Chains A and B, each alone.
Chain A
Amino acid sequence: MAKTPVQFRLNGSDKAVFVDGGENLLNVLRRGVGDMSAKYGCGQGTCGVCTVLVDGEPQLACLTLAETCAGRSVDTALGLSDGPNLHPLQTAFMEHFAAQCGFCTSGMLMAAKALLDRNASPTREEVAEAISGNICRCTGYEPIINAIMDAAAKRGGGSNREQGHARV
């Protein structure tokens, strides 16, 4: 079968792969270049565990036609830390015990990063909205929301922190 060459940047490094017709970005990341941080959870766009950033925007890798990423920049959870230095979101997730099985964590982190990159001091409602496409079956979302709020606060935002719970 004919394969199509696709070049893109992954976490700042150039990658070149051959993709099948109709192949999705998730498959290319996992089996093509060996970045296993984005997970397969549904292939339907309904669970969010494959959330990555494409040119800074959150996208579902499972629904992204791989060849549309040619020349674009893809970021995954593997690229979140700066060498051994964790991203503030990673630190906050650890401090808040915001992961149990961990399967949703990569996608959650990328959804959260997409939010904080645009909105340094989100409200609880905005945080809930930002992760609304990401299913977590373990935590009940509470510690995840707290971790994202905390990460925002520690990065210098966080003026919108408030008591109470997200009702959006």
Chain B
Amino acid sequence: MARHRGRGMAAINYPIGMNLGGDPSQALVHSNPEGKFTVTLSAIDLGQGMKQVTRQIAAETLGVPIADVYVDTADSDTGPHDMGSFASRGTHRVGNAVAAAAKEARGVMMEAAAEELEVNAADLDTDGRGNIHVKGAPSRAISVKDVAVAAQFRQGKTIAGRGIFLIPLSEVNPETGEMSPVSCYAHACLVADLEVDDETGEVTVLKMTSAYELGRAINPKMVEQQLVGGAWMGMSHALFETPEPYYPDTAHGPRDFNEYVMPGPGDICPHDIAVLERPAPDGPFGGKGPGEMCANPVLPAVANAIFNAVGVRVDSLPITPEKVLRAIKAQGGARPQGAPGGRR
């Protein structure tokens, strides 16, 4: 009986957004007479944080505090069109649309402020705390609230903006596959350390160490949510999950969460993450989108670490204890491959 340690790595990139029918998103931004803003969308928050990501992008673009912005989404009567929340498109596509709408609204706001301060709008800036001031002369200022009141009740201006982001669809060449699939990519490299029980085929992931490049992290805590939870899902895909455990045989499909196995709270491991930010030139503040790619490097890294531990290649997902055990038996026993990358 033996447990063998193994270490494996994988590196990946991931396309942000999709190439179908163009990939448009729209956003509307408007202020109430108190200078408080509402972003109106039809994007979906599935937990990935769409509402908060777009809220921060809007606040940053408008130059107002986060508390002065709320996002209202997914009422088809009021929210303008959006393709949907998938393909890692939310931060990039919807974020760009929101930035565009907020920019337009900010333009009106600055014009209204300029009229109140009797200066040129180009000479004004926001302080991010709810005030607009003359560049270089912070005392010549007016609050966003006063601007909004003036715009509504004196100037007859709507502090509002519309935004759309569209990457025109790119035809795929039937002969060569030539196309512009997306505009930017996120990147990752992940190291998995694990242990394989050579008598039962059971794999225990002990640690993950990773570097993710995601463009600008719009909200670092939400990036962490995605990366930690996504890597868990990657581990789950690698070792546990499928509704067809004997694919292509369709029998024995799981009917509940007892039979559809996923790592439990006792199966998780420490994950040491570094985030790199190479801003996407066409992303909102350089944002890309970590939502999907976070899981992807875990699957091959785990498979490679199993090889490192016991010398067997399981090229079929999920890598169940049964597959590992069968491979070890076929090989005549575990053959540890030594430690790549030195001590662990």
Within the complex, are A and B direct neighbours (CB within 8 Å)? yes
Complex contact A100–B232 (CB within 8 A): no
Q: Which listed segment binds B: A22-30, A127-135, A151-159? A: A127-135
In B216-234, which residues have CB < 8 Å from any A CB?
221-222, 224-225, 228-233
Task: Check B225 against A97 for contact (C-beta < 8 Å).
Answer: yes
Tell me the bound Cα distance from A138 to B46 in angstroms: 10
**Please, which residue of chain B has its CB at the minimum distance from the CB of A43?**
B256
Q: Residues of B contacting A2 with CB < 8 Å?
A: none
- Tell me whether B256 and A46 are in contact (CB under 8 A): yes
Q: Which residue of B lies closest to A98 (CB)?
A: B225
Contact status B232-A141, CB under 8 Å: yes
Give min CB distance, B303 to chain A, whole Å. Answer: 20
- B-contacting 9-mer, from A4-12, A31-39, A63-71, A160-168: A160-168
Task: Report how far A137 CA is from B229 CA in the complex, Å.
Answer: 8
- Chain A residues near B221 (CB, 8 Å)? 97
Number of A-B contacts (CB under 8 A): 74
Q: Contact check: which of B229, B258, B264 meets A100 at CB < 8 Å?
A: B229
Per-position binary interface string of chain A over residues 96-130, scored 1 when its CB falls under 8 Å from any chain B CB and 0 otherwise: 01011111000000000000000000000101110
CA distance A145 to B204 in the complex (A): 19
Smallest CB-CB separation from A101: which chain B residue?
B47
- CB distance B265 to A135 under 8 Å? no
Structural contact, A100 and B265, CB atoms closer than 8 A: no
Closest to B254 in A: A46
Total count of chain B residues near the partner, CB < 8 A = 27
What is the distance, in angstroms, from B202's C-beta to the closest C-beta of chain A?
A: 13
Given contacts A42-B257, A97-B222, A142-B228, contact A166 B48 (CB under 8 A): no
Is the beta-carbon distance between B265 and A97 smaller than 8 angstroms?
no
- The segment from B149-157, B266-274, B306-314 that touches chain A is B266-274
A162 nearest CB across to chain B (Å): 13
Bound Cα distance A164, B204 (Å): 15
Task: Flag whether B11 is at the interface (Cβ < 8 A).
Answer: no
In contact, A132 and B264 (Cβ under 8 angstroms):
yes
Taking the complex as formed, is B49 at the interface, i.e. its CB lies under 8 A from any CB of chain A? yes
Known: A97-B222, A140-B233, A143-B225. A128 touches B49 (CB 8 A): no
Q: Are B256 and A128 in contact, CB atoms less than 8 angstroms apart?
A: no
Q: Is the CB of B270 within 8 A of A139?
A: no
A166 touches B228 (CB 8 A): no
Q: Is B142 an interface residue (CB 8 A)?
A: no
Complex alpha-carbon distance, A104 and B142, angstroms: 45
Indicate if B71 sits at the interface (CB-CB under 8 A): no
Quick check: is B317 within 8 A (CB to CB) of the other chain?
no
Residues of B within 8 A of A99 (CB): 47
Q: Is B182 an interface residue (CB 8 A)?
A: no
Knowing A100-B48, A100-B49, A101-B46 touch, does A140 contact B231 (C-beta < 8 A)? yes
Q: Which of A44, A138, A145, A164 contacts B265 (CB 8 A)?
A: A145
Interface centre among A42, A46, A99 (most CB of B within 10 A): A46
- From residue A111, how far is it (CB to closest CB) to chain B in Å? 11
Report if A54 contacts B (CB, 8 A): no
Q: Please, how many angstroms separate the alpha-carbon atoms of A165 and B267 in the complex?
A: 9
Bound together, the chains give a CA A42 to CA B230 distance in angstroms of 23
Q: Report yes or no: A141 in contact with B265, Cβ–Cβ below 8 A.
A: yes
- CB neighbours (8 Å) of B204 from chain A are 167
B224 touches A97 (CB 8 A): yes
Query: Whole-angstrom distance between the alpha carbons of A104 and B51 in the complex?
Result: 19
The reply to whether the CB of B327 lies closer than 8 angstroms to some CB of chain A is no
Other CB < 8 Å A-B pairs besides A139-B229, A140-B229, 15 of them?
Answer: A42-B257, A46-B257, A47-B257, A100-B225, A100-B229, A103-B47, A128-B264, A128-B265, A129-B266, A138-B225, A139-B228, A139-B232, A140-B231, A141-B265, A165-B268
> 11 A-B pairs, CB-CB below 8 angstroms?
A46-B258, A100-B48, A100-B229, A103-B47, A128-B265, A132-B266, A137-B262, A140-B231, A140-B232, A142-B268, A165-B268
Interface residues of A (CB under 8 A from B): 42, 44, 46-47, 97, 99-103, 125, 127-129, 131-132, 135, 137-145, 164-168
Nearest first, the 10 closest Cβ-Cβ pairs linking A and B are A101-B47, A140-B232, A100-B47, A168-B266, A46-B257, A128-B265, A141-B265, A46-B256, A140-B229, A139-B229
